[in-house]
Structure 1
Amino acid sequence: MTTKTRTKEKSQSIGRGFAILSFSSIAVKILSLFFVPVMRKLLGGSYGYGVYGAASEVYAFVYVITTSGMPVAVSKIVSELTSQDNPREAERSFRLARFFLIIVGLVSSILMAIFAKPIAALMNNEDSWAGILFLAPSIMICSIMAAYRGYFQGKRNMTPTAASQIIEQIVHVAVSIICVIGLKHHGIVWAVAGASIGTSVGAFVSFAIIVGYRSSRRFYIEKESRRGKNLPTRKLFKTLVYYSIPITLSSGIQYGGNLIDASLIAGRLQAGGFSEVVSTSLYGDMIATRQLINVPTALVSALCVSILPALTASYARQDFKGTEERAGYGFKLLYIVAMPLSFAMTVFAKEIYTLLGFGNNHMLLTSLSFSILLMGTVHLQNSIMQSVNRLFQSTMYLGISVLVKALLNYILIAIPTFNVYGAVISTYIAYAIPLILNHRDLVKRVSIKVNPARRAVLPLIASFCMIVCAYVSNTVLNVLFSPIGLANYLKVLVTFLPTALVGVYVYFKVLIFFGGITDEDLNSISPALVKIIRKVTKK
């Protein structure tokens, strides 16, 4: 196979999968962004949202412990066995994983429900116990669903995952709002419980959709599964466990860091002289800011999910050149997406906060925005490390990162000058550690010579041009509309939206001019995208 042909196939598999998951991720995060100000208002402001955030961090930690490793392991082994023309054992590996996750999910849900109150006390947020309790059932549901998503991702079919995620979020938002309205007169404890009910109902609906999709394809699955060589069940299960444990540890360490943040931030702020209400409110502001940061981070996660099967398949065939090309293409997509969003969130944080009703603490977003690039690079490096069987090493590096972050948070947040911004400083330092160690490992141990910095140059130039033009545009529009005397929200709306369009136009114009993105790249994601962007930017 020629390099050109291989690159084209690479682009089609990664690019289209990235596009599908990106669309669903954007849709989900947009719903989340509009959900945050509504929920903040219904829960009485930053304090109520801080209570909800504490329950959510506990849920997120248990969720990743039970569901993060096995779907990636299923995706990896299904991809490997399919590339080796053994669909029978690919199917059997899915069924083994599903059985295992049923047990793990059931046990985790029961334990989370039983220990809801002690967990809330450990989080320094006793009002969050009911929220934790009503989130417990969704752990069981999501655990089983994780096996299905891993199977389809291993088959490079991202549609079921994307569709189920969107509908899950729609149901989650709708049911949460209804339940909070119905329960908030009982106090903040039960209002937060109402929001948690929405999460569990959304998970159940999503599970029904993805199971229904697989059932509709049962005939084709059974027909395909007749081919292949039998492998011992013990060997399949050991392989699944081998792949899943380091990924589970990696995700657990990462979200454990967030859990440590949740328990540390409010406590260390109080140690620095802030009251309990102010401390919880500042933590609520940090949670809201992270929701915004999670929008581009979700795109990065979509990229990592879509690139992992392709990397795994090429490495399993010992196609090391192809593995390197796919990894380089992944970094290229990462920076094309993450770089302009980091610039935009830094410069226009105040306008974004105003439009979304996130309050006045927009400097948190300004200071945290460029962590998107660090987090994105580390997440993609971890996917590459997983695909080339350096799972335990990437987990160890992330563990070092979390320990450093916890130590810095403990020291910096209690200093009144830094307060909650101590968590921002620790985030940058903590993510720089695995970034450096992962890169060294890939270059020296695996000989995957991909230089992320080189892929970032053209998106950086285009983003700089974009932000200069957007800033000038926004300044001019503000001068023009100032005499009219519009209300602040309306003024931001009519000035910022045209500014955003100018920024998008300039970014793609400059990127295409310097060859940072080609027709082949766009066509790999969507052929229609080539026509649209070319038509808009040719003028």
Structure 2
Amino acid sequence: MARWSTAKNSEKKEFNKSSTANKTAKEKMLRGSAWMTVGSIFSRILGAIYIIPWYGWFGADKLQANALYTKGYTVYSMFLMIAISGIPSAVAKQVSHYNAQNEYAVGRRLFKKSLLLMLIIGVLCAVAMWVSAPWISQGDANLVPVYRSLSIALIVIPVMSLTRGFFQGYQDMFPSAMSQLLEQIVRIIYMLAATFLIMRVVKGSYVTGVVHSTFAAFVGALGGLFILVLYFFRQKKQMDQLVLQSANQLEVSDRHIIKDVLYESVPFIIIGVSTTLYNLLDQFTFQPVMQGFSALNIRQINDWFALFAGNANKLIMITISLASAMAITAIPLLSEAYTKGNKKQIATQINDALELFLIVMLPCSLGMAAVAKPLYVIFYTYDHVGIFILSFASYIALPIGLFMVLSSLLQGVYQNKAAIKYFLIGFVVKLIVQVPLIIFLKGFGPLLATGIGMMVSNWLMLRFLYAHFGLAGDRIVRRFDGLLFFSLLMFAVAFGVVQVSGFFFNPYSRIQSLIVLVLAAGLGGYVYVYLCLKTRIADKILGVRVGSLRRLLRIK
């Protein structure tokens, strides 16, 4: 009897220990996601708000300017991904891996060696983009100075991104969030000041205005790097103490460290450029297909391109950034669990990450679709086609966001080949359907092709996770059904408010559209939050702390 009691107590302690570990991991994920979400959402909102004055200052050339800006950033994003080389995410993953083994000294050495590597790669990519600008401009001379103004940022941003990755390896998301926010603030201040001076004061060319708008990426990067350096020196004593307490059991050469980082970075490069490759395919196929199968001239084609690739994309990236923030948080936590061989914790964290994605992204995507009309008017002025494109793009944001989370989960558990394979299958599907969809649907075609390709990749990734890591399929389906039902009710309320408001408010007025947006989003959001709290589904996904919100809203 005594033996049985002792064994039972031992099992109970082990269960409590495991439960506490899972709870701690979940709290880390929620806390990390919260910081990254705050940084991402505010930087994305700022990145969308600046459009209101910036767009208006270009006058009759506003769509042409936005098309030029979008084309420049799409190619720049590809060079940036090559310059970053997936190394920041790989460093976050490897630093977390070594820290889990109490080998903080190895993680610090990895960071120092990677910094030099990133600086060299950044300079080489900057030179390559500057020199190749005339050849990749598709014959558009206006794009050459835009590409070259963006190339300068490639020297600074890789170093900044690597430093963010180092802090993320310690599961400290605050520096990354603040750096992201300050980078955006500095960039927008320079961008707006330069554009106003060029377009309104000296009455310059819209091309010059766009060139300075893109050069703002370099200025913003300096601001983002500054706060990271400041935070590093503030935390240096604590991190030095951890280094001194390292186990020092691993003998890892500098060559091995760099080799490991480069090996781990390859999947991050491929997955990191996935959405950029989708955008590049749109950029390099839309114009020739439209020229060959429609009677539209170049200016009209650029207007269409600006509507789906520029205007709509800037707004849906606000919601997609939420998924990106969750993905960044999940990688080091999964890497730690994988290093410790804790299969139960791996399965729990995968389930938690997917449920967190659903409770946030479902209402965000459907909500943006519901309020597309006032939202578009506020940022871009009234455009019937633009509103419909934004509404459609809002639905496509859901599979794009899910792809970011699922591919990151696979990389976090070292299933890099699977992540790459499923991305490539989805991309091939987009290639197949791209041209016919552009021919029949114009600006809606590339968006639908992206959605189809992403959904194929997502289905394959979900199937893989279910088969290999004990994904709780039944539980996730139940949560999905409930959250989708609540999101649809929210959509109905928000959309109903927008439609009814058409009888009382002027749809062409920005101020009145803002009032409609606040009413629709407020009522729809309240319905969703109320239902999630009332049914306790929020407690199951976000933890018991949401009980304070329930008490605040007086929901029993």
Query: Is the pair's TM-score, using the shorter chain for normalization, greater than 0.5?
Result: yes
Is 1:410 aligned to 2:435, yes or no?
yes
C-alpha distance 205-486 of structure 1, shift in aligned 2 (>3 A): closer
Give TM-score, length-normalised by structure 1: 0.93
* TM superposition shift of 1:235: 2.2
Aligned position for 1:223: 241
| Pairing 1:181–2:206 present | no
1:401-425 alpha-carbon deviations (Å, 9 max, x no partner)? 2233234223321x2x411111122
2:388 corresponds in structure 1 to 363
- In structure 2, list runs of 5 or more residues that go unmatched: 1-13
Tell whether the 8 Å contact from 1:374 to 1:428 is kept in structure 2 after alignment.
Answer: yes
How does the TM-score come out when normalised to structure 2? 0.90
Displacement of 1:348: 2.0
Match of 1:515 among 511, 517, 536: 536
Q: Deviations over 1:311-338 (max 9, x none)?
A: 1111111111111111111111111111
User: Structure 1 counterpart of 2:206, which letter?
Assistant: I
State the identity %: 22
| Aligned twin of 1:280 | 302
Q: Distance in 2 between matches of 1:487 and 1:520?
A: 40
**Contact (CA 8 Å) 2:533, 2:550: kept in 1 or not?**
no
Whole-angstrom distance in 2 between the partners of 1:214 and 1:367: 43
Distance of 1:410 and 1:42 partners within structure 2 = 35
Q: Distance in 2 between matches of 1:373 and 1:158?
A: 24
> Residue 127 of structure 1 contacts residue 188 of structure 1 at CA under 8 Å; is this kept in 2?
no
In the alignment, is residue 42 of structure 1 matched against residue 60 of structure 2?
Answer: no
Q: Quick check: 1:64 aligned with 2:64?
A: no
Choose 1 or 2 for highest CA Rg.
2
Distance 1:437 1:476 in 2: 42
**Structure 2 residue 324 is matched with structure 1 residue 301:** yes
In 2, the alpha carbon distance for the partners of 1:221 and 1:70 equals 21
Query: Quick one: distance in 2 between partners of 1:495 and 1:221?
Result: 50
Q: Sort the Cα spacing of 1:110 and 1:537 in 2 relative to 1 into closer, same or farther, 3 A.
A: farther
> Structure 1 runs of 4+ off > 6 angstroms?
none
1:456 aligns with 2:477: no
CA displacement, residues 327-375 of structure 1 (integer Å, 9 cap, x when unaligned): 1111111111111112112222112111222541111122122222212
Give 1:487 deviation, angstroms: 6.9
Distance 2:133 2:126 in 1: 10
**Are 1:162 and 2:177 an aligned pair?**
yes
What does residue 523 of structure 2 align with?
502
Q: Choose from 394, 413, 422 the match for 2:419.
A: 394
Measured at CA, do residues 125 and 518 of structure 1 come closer, stay the same or move farther in structure 2, by a change above 3 Å? farther
SS in structure 2 at match of 1:117: coil
* Offset at residue 477 of structure 1 (A): 5.0
Is contact 2:355-2:541 (8 Å) kept?
no
Q: Aligned equivalents of 1:476 and 1:252: distance in 2?
A: 42
How far apart, in 2, do the equivalents of 1:165 and 1:431 lie?
27
Match of 2:147 in 1: 132
Kept in 1, the 8 Å contact 2:487–2:528? The answer is yes
**How far off its partner does 1:534 sit?**
3.1
The alpha-carbon deviation at position 257 of structure 1 amounts to 2.4
Matched residue, 1:435: 458
Aligned partner of residue 288 in structure 2, secondary structure: helix
Question: Which sits farther off after the overlay, 164-173 or 361-370?
Answer: 361-370
Deviations 1:134-184 (A, max 9, x none): 111111101111211111001011111111111111111110112223334
SS in 2 for 1:120: coil
Q: Where do 1:189-338 residues align within 5 Å?
A: 189-226=207-244, 227-229=246-248, 230-273=251-294, 274-286=296-308, 287-338=310-361
Query: Contact 2:347–2:469 at 8 Å: present in 1 too?
Result: no
AA aligned to 2:97 is E
Using a 3 Å threshold, how does the CA distance of structure 1 residues 90 and 407 change in structure 2: closer, same or farther?
same
Counterpart CA distance in 2 for 1:367 and 1:260 is 19
Aligned residues: 528
Offset of residue 246 of structure 1? 1.4
Aligned twin of 1:141? 156
Is the CA contact (8 Å cut-off) linking 1:76 and 1:309 kept in structure 2? yes
CA offsets per residue over residues 30-68 of structure 1, 9 Å max, x none?
111112233322332111110111001111111122225
Q: Do structure 1's residue 119 and structure 2's residue 140 form an aligned pair? A: no
Letter in 2 for 1:468: A
Residue 399 of structure 2 contacts residue 455 of structure 2 at CA under 8 Å; is this kept in 1? yes
Q: 1:92 and 1:378 mapped to 2: Cα distance?
A: 33
CA distance in 1, matches of 2:388, 2:39: 29
For residues 195 and 55 of structure 1, what CA distance do their matches in structure 2 show? 11
Partners of 1:129 and 1:189 within 8 A in 2:
no
Q: CA deviation at 1:473?
A: 4.2
Q: Distance in 2 between matches of 1:12 and 1:253?
A: 30
1:465 corresponds to which residue? 489
8 Å contact kept, 2:371–2:498: no
Tell me how far apart the structure 1 counterparts of residues 83 and 495 of structure 2 sit (CA, whole Å). Answer: 45
Residue identity opposite 1:113 in structure 2 = W
Of residues 356, 364, 372, the one that matches 2:397 is 372
Q: Go from structure 1 to structure 2 and tell me whether the alpha carbon gap of 1:183 and 1:491 turns closer, same or farther (over 3 Å shift).
A: closer
